[in-house]
Amino acid sequence: QVQLVESGGGLVQAGGSLRLSCAASGRGLSSYAMGWFRQAPGKEREFVAAISVSGGLTYYSDSVKGRFTISRDNAKNTVYLQMNSLKPEDTAVYYCAADPTFRTVVAGSSGVDYWGKGTLVTVSS
């Protein structure tokens, strides 16, 4: 079992930056591909970014490519999402996810093994 806890959300003005963290307990993250998803009010949860077990492979949704960066520190059992040039449309609850398979994380939310409870990011205009 893996427990995931997100942190770092908050209120930021458009154009600003935030860094989200996802800390794991239980089994370590070193065997899992990791991802970030988000769900805006009234919308379905959507994929944001994914990173492979080693960290050597990353993948982003078109809406965040060039603005967000996913990274991981397996020694600290933590995954990060650096968010720059934030826009009001980035407002959402952001969820951390873990799965043994990178492709499963990239493919979307339905097959992912573990989820955090989310952290709210609000971007004001």
Q: Give 58-115 pLDDT, tens digit per residue.
A: 999 999 999 999 999 999 999 999 999 999 999 999 999 999 999 999 987 678 999 9
Q: Is the pLDDT of residue 124 over 80?
A: yes
Q: Nearest Cα to 37, choosing from 124, 121, 123?
A: 121
Per-residue pLDDT, 29: 85
Residues of the chain with pLDDT > 70, as a percent, come to 99
- The SS3 assignment for 117 reads coil
Overall average pLDDT of the 23-34 stretch: 88
Across the chain, mean pLDDT equals 95
- pLDDT at residue number 75: 92
Name the one residue in this structure whose structure tokens are 């996810």. Answer: 97
Q: What is the pLDDT of residue 96?
A: 96
Place of tokens 């993250």: 29
Q: What is the pLDDT of residue 109?
A: 65
Joined tokens for residue 26: 């239980």
Residue listed under structure tokens 């990791």? 34
